[in-house]
Structure 1
């Protein structure tokens, strides 16, 4: 496979060959992971009431939907692959764009490593010969997806659609089995200290904490934005994939939570660190662990592929705007930004082998929502700066929708600073020291001009 572009596709030009099915697949693959199988116990501990519990999941989807509507307008105006980075760079300038892109690339690569390690942990017991080889499995999976995507975006597209479909079918199948075939379980002995729904202002605080968990579980709805200029009709496809994808994820989450509640009383669910494992054991008995591990492997494979695809687009876009070394903008005949791909793979492998991925993900989790807040602020800047610019998609109920998205992000940032002060401050320190890194990589005055 040569790195030279085919005729009609000059170096640095991605192929516009993706469709709505890919957008939905990458959103589902990027969003649905371990969270939905672990988070229900955290939320039930805060709001041990079925209506409030399910309401928190709906509210988390609403926040994601507000963000998807807001970002869709920006992307439809100016489709550029690379995640939120091109939007912020165009609206606020090179340095804010650099901070968003740099933190996004580091955290996405860290997520590749983290998900691959968990995949290794779940796959090992299924194949006894692989037991205790989590790092080897993780590195093999990541490198394997790198080789697959090196061939071209069409293979990456097929892999993402296949793995995300398998994930969705496995999760929905698990939920339907619980709802239709499993018998409701009578509550086991519950301690007299089982949590009650808190009253008054305490309930407000509990809902806010529960919302934090739900929002983390919905994080990933920006997946299609990383491939904006590779979609066949981005002005139409981005809103459809973002909005449809969030609604699809919400449907799967509500089905799964309804299934968990069917076999586990909410008082028992509260505080359970792995609700899905408890549910599987009650539905399948001794075989529950094996069933759950198979579901998890299917789920995590789709996540790794999506994250590898996404990670490569960020340094590619930054290089094209002269904010990273020029080699990272090279694209091969198959539409893959090869140097950016292998740089992302190398970073993920390094984090796996040095066992530092958990620290990177924890530190930069704060930056995910901070980047959303910056992007929503960019929306208002662009509305004011270019009020007459063509907008193939316009946010409904302006300015209410983007304002709520921005306020929700700011509230989440404040909560993160309070609940995880150490890692949040580390993330802010990373922003503070990013200026010399930005000056090191920025290549000449052309970096001040947005790539068109």
Structure 2
């Protein structure tokens, strides 16, 4: 349980915590999804965005509640092991975050290579830039947590400043007046899919909780950082979405794979295109660095809890072995030319699905332990709030079922999810049997 002796996050630590929490939300994939969704649903998408942000704020509070009872980067593993058992504690954290890290990093880095090639040096090989950027980010994390935290603050700051500047210029109409958007005439299915995908835009804030080097930190500070990060990104999404609608037709936003570049160019011409190039490269660094800061430490913490081989838990503050393994996986995917392949998108969606399911299970665990914790010892001391986690769990289950129903390739998605859950469950059962 949390005590008064727990240390407060220093201002710099609080900023770095937020930077890790929102890193993945600022990726090029997120900006593409935002632009396409705004194009499909128009202004009504902001309603979906608001609901998604509120849902994730409740989830962030559940993580804060979790860390108040199970402090430290291994808190999630300890809670899930206690409430759901060791197999669940292995399957869903690994299934969602590790699969997503390898596949999403492949796609995000490939996009960065394309943007660098198209915007800055057309003769530079895309793949070479992607590998070089991956290598730099791995080195940053191998140097140590302090260095990666400072780098993350710089990356995120560049993205936020760039998007905010472009948004303000767009809103003021300094260089070009807004165009009239064309109605995209979306179908009911596309609107439903857009609404269900809105929660995906806020994935990743829990990575910050895995980067805590010191166990005794106040969970209230952690919850504030997560909720504040979600609010900040939601505000940026609102601004950028409004500007996108004002400068680019809805049909064009819905169909393009680079809505951010088209909008930036419509706002400031070639200067906007270059500025957006800097934003995308910075967002790539922010997203991949956040994944490399959080997921290896999650793996190392699970190893310390006896859920994974002990070798993975060596030097837990840096988690070099999990970091190198994730790097090899990402590098192999890029070498095999998986970036841009339709199957990679299915793998990414499967990872997102399992990650959202993991959020739902956290709500279930927090609700379970909440009955045995006195109200005065809880992070949120409002009696009626005790039901919020179970409500959020139910909402997430509906969203997950809807995501499968509206997916473009539901059979392949189901097969991928089934294969991952089955494979990890088999490993978990064997691991528990022979290591108990």
- Normalised-by-shorter TM-score class: 0.7 to 0.9
Identify unmatched segments of 5+ residues in structure 2.
Answer: 1-8
After superposition, the C-alpha distances for 1:218-265 in whole angstroms (9 at most, x for unaligned) are 222222222245476242321111111111111111111122233235
Residues 38, 45 of structure 2: 8 Å contact kept: yes
Task: Name the SS for the 1:128 alignment partner.
Answer: coil
Q: Deviations over 1:181-228 (max 9, x none)?
A: 24432327x5xxx44587xxx5xx665322223211122222222224
Match of 1:430 among 407, 411, 420: 420
* Alignment partner of 2:93 out of 81, 101, 109: 101
Contact 2:104-2:348 at 8 Å conserved across structures: yes
Helix, strand or coil at the partner of 2:211: helix
Shift in CA distance, 270/340, structure 1 to aligned 2, threshold 3 Å: closer
Among candidates 380, 402, 407, match of residue 415 of structure 1:
402
Match of 1:79 in 2: 71
User: For the residues of structure 1 that align with 2:398 and 2:130, how far apart are their CA atoms?
Assistant: 35
- Confirm or deny: 8 A CA contact 2:117 2:123 kept in the other structure: yes
The answer on whether the counterparts of 2:26 and 2:286 sit within 8 Å (CA) in structure 1 is no
**Aligned ranges 1:29-40 → 2 under 5 Å:** 29-40=23-34
Task: Report the Cα distance in structure 1 between the residues aligned to 2:156 and 2:110, rounded to whole angstroms.
Answer: 19
What do the CA deviations read for 1:239-295 (whole angstroms, capped 9, x no partner)? 111111111111111111122233235566454543322222222234443332222
Could you state the TM-score of these two structures normalised by the residue count of structure 2? 0.86
Distance 1:129 1:236 in 2: 48
Which structure has the highest helix share of the two?
A: 2
Q: 1:196 to 1:363 in 2, by over 3 A?
A: closer
**What TM-score, normalized to structure 1?**
0.83
**1:215–1:92 distance in 2 versus 1, CA, 3 Å:** same
Task: Select which of 254, 260, 263 maps to 2:247.
Answer: 263
Shift of 1:175: 0.8
Which blocks of at least 5 consecutive residues in structure 1 are unaligned? 1-15, 447-452
Q: Deviations over 1:138-159 (max 9, x none)?
A: 2222222222211211111111
- The CA deviation string for residues 305-349 of structure 1, in whole angstroms up to 9 with x for no partner, is 1111112112201211222221111117xx312222222222222
Kept in 2, the 8 Å contact 1:185–1:262? The answer is yes
Call closer, same or farther: CA 1:250–1:231 in 2, change over 3 Å: farther
Residue 172 in structure 1 maps to residue 159 in structure 2: no
Q: Are 1:280 and 1:288, in contact at CA under 8 Å, matched by a contact in 2?
A: yes
Confirm or deny that 1:124 pairs with 2:117: yes
Using the alignment, how far apart are the partners of 2:414 and 2:20 within structure 1?
Answer: 28
Superposition RMSD in Å: 2.8
Residue 306 in 1 paired to residue 296 in 2? no
Alignment of 1:129-144 (within 5 A): 131=124, 133-144=125-136
Residue aligning to 2:14 = 20
Confirm or deny that 1:67 pairs with 2:49: no
- 1:3 paired residue number: none
Quote the offset at 1:444 in angstroms: 5.3
Whole-Å separation in 1 of the counterparts to 2:68 and 2:427: 31
Match of 1:158 among 144, 150, 161: 150
**Residue 366 (str. 1) matches residue 353 (str. 2):** yes
Structure 1: distance between partners of 2:415 and 2:75: 24
Distance in 1 between residues matched to 2:74 and 2:280, nearest whole Å: 28
Aligned-partner Cα distance in 2 for 1:267–1:282: 15
